[in-house]
Amino acid sequence: MTHKYIFSHSQVRNQGDLEGDEVDISNPGQAIQAGLSLLTEDRQKTGLILDQSVKWNVSVVHMANTRGRLINERQETQNVDNYIDAIDIMTPSIFQEVRFLSGGNQQKVVLAKWLYANSNVIFFDEPTRGIDIGSKEEIYKLMVQLAKEGKYILIVSSDMPELIAMCDRVVVMRQGKVVGEIGRQDLSEEKVLTYSIGGIL
């Protein structure tokens, strides 16, 4: 399974094993129910609704998952506040439209949305593209923290230093197929590039 297929609307079935359980996914809703989430490479186009509030964007998936049940609005607001505090989203109000937040804080809003939806497997697709150095460091720290809490973090990145700094294992794909796997101890730019271009180690 690749992250693009799992979260697409192509109706292509993706079967695999997740924490010892067989999963069969053919649409984004099933992926979310299985505890998978995706921080897309273009957060403004596919990760957020820019003219909606921070609160709306953080709670939208959770609300969809609880459709048909009574919602305690006060508790919902408190839950969103808790996630804003937990990952340090800088916003003057939970009712602020996300279009007015910095790139780094917009990325945090997307992450908060998936954490509130109780995701255990999080795909970060080009997670620090278009954000400043300070925000990059914050995103990296959040990834490490989530991994320590037992979340599965998968990074899709064209930033080689980012991969080497953050990953315990790198899987290289070419034309949709796995062509190499490198553990932390052997990880280097040279080895990743060699697999990428089809060379021989």
How many CA atoms lie less than 13 Å away from 6 in the CB half-sphere?
A: 21
Whether residues 88 and 183 fall in one domain? no
- Classified as helix, coil or strand, 12 is coil
Note the pLDDT tens digit of each residue in 80-133: 999 999 999 999 999 999 999 999 999 999 999 999 999 999 999 999 988 889
Give the domain extent around 64: 15-167
- Assess if residue 91 is contained within a domain: yes
Which amino acid, one-letter code, is at 27?
N
Whether residues 192 and 126 fall in one domain? no
Which amino acid, one-letter code, is at 119?
S
Residue with tokens 């292509």: 12
Give φ, ψ of 63 to 5 degrees: -65, -40
Note the pLDDT tens digit of each residue in 143-200: 999 999 999 999 999 899 999 999 999 999 888 889 999 999 999 999 999 998 886 5
Please state the pTM of the whole predicted model.
0.83
